[in-house]
Structures are given as C-alpha cells and as structure tokens.
C-alpha cells in the first residue's frame, strides 16, 4: 500500500527544547502515526528542500485525563490521542529557517538627537 507523499504533512514543533536542538542541526516534527522513517524523509525533503542525515522517531502515549460533568454525574476518565514525533538531523550545510527571525533595523538615538 503506497501512500501519496502529498498526504503526509510534517509540522515543526516550536518549543524551547526544539529550539535548543535546532542549534545542533536537529529539528523536531509532528508526524502521522502511520508514517515510517522513509516516508518522513521524503516528506521533509519535498516540503523543506533539505538533505536529511538521520531520523529518530517516537510515539508519545496519550495521557489519561479526568473529567466530570457535574458533582455526581458521570465521573470518569478519558484518554488523549497518541502522537508521533520525528527528530530529524540534517546534513551539514542544510538548515531550516523555523526559529530564525528577520532582522529589523534598529535606530538608536541619543538624547541630543531626540531634542
């Protein structure tokens, strides 16, 4: 069963930990649970135009969450959905502009110029 690459959408994770890893040329993506490493590699190449060196994947189990619809009415728990993450190491010379901010020209005026 071959999947179409256009159906696999990899979205970058923008957290402090992901930002720290991006300094080491490792980027974190949320990927579909059914996607394997080869499909993720091709999707990252096609969406971002970079060369992938290595991929590590993990499935994060959904947590059990307590809920209640009132004081004594239907107390219980439910489960959040599972998610899959891919830690993608890019080849040397490749990078993504996910965390890079465009530089804005800053004008520093002295007290005399403001008067």
Q: Which two tokens stand for residue 51?
A: 């060369």
**Topology of domain 5-92, CATH:** Alpha-Beta Plaits (3.30.70)
Residue-range domain boundaries for the chain: 5-92
* pLDDT confidence tier of residue 77, bands split at 50, 70 and 90: confident
Contact by Cβ (8 Å): 2, 36: no
Report in angstroms the alpha-carbon separations of 79 from 38, 45, 90, 94.
29, 34, 34, 38
Whole-structure pTM value: 0.74
pLDDT > 90? residue 2: no
């Amino acid at each position: 069963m071959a999947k179409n690459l256009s159906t696999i959408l990899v979205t970058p994770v923008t957290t402090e930990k992901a930002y720290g890893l991006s300094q080491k040329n490792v980027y974190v993506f949320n990927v579909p649970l059914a996607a394997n490493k080869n499909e993720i590699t091709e999707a990252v190449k096609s969406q971002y135009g970079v060369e992938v060196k290595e991929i590590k994947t993990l499935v994060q189990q959904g947590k059990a969450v307590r809920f209640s619809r009132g004081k004594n009415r239907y107390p219980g728990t439910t489960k959040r959905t599972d998610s899959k993450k891919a830690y993608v190491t890019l080849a040397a010379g490749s990078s993504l502009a996910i965390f890079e901010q465009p530089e804005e020209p800053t004008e520093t005026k002295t007290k005399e110029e403001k008067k």
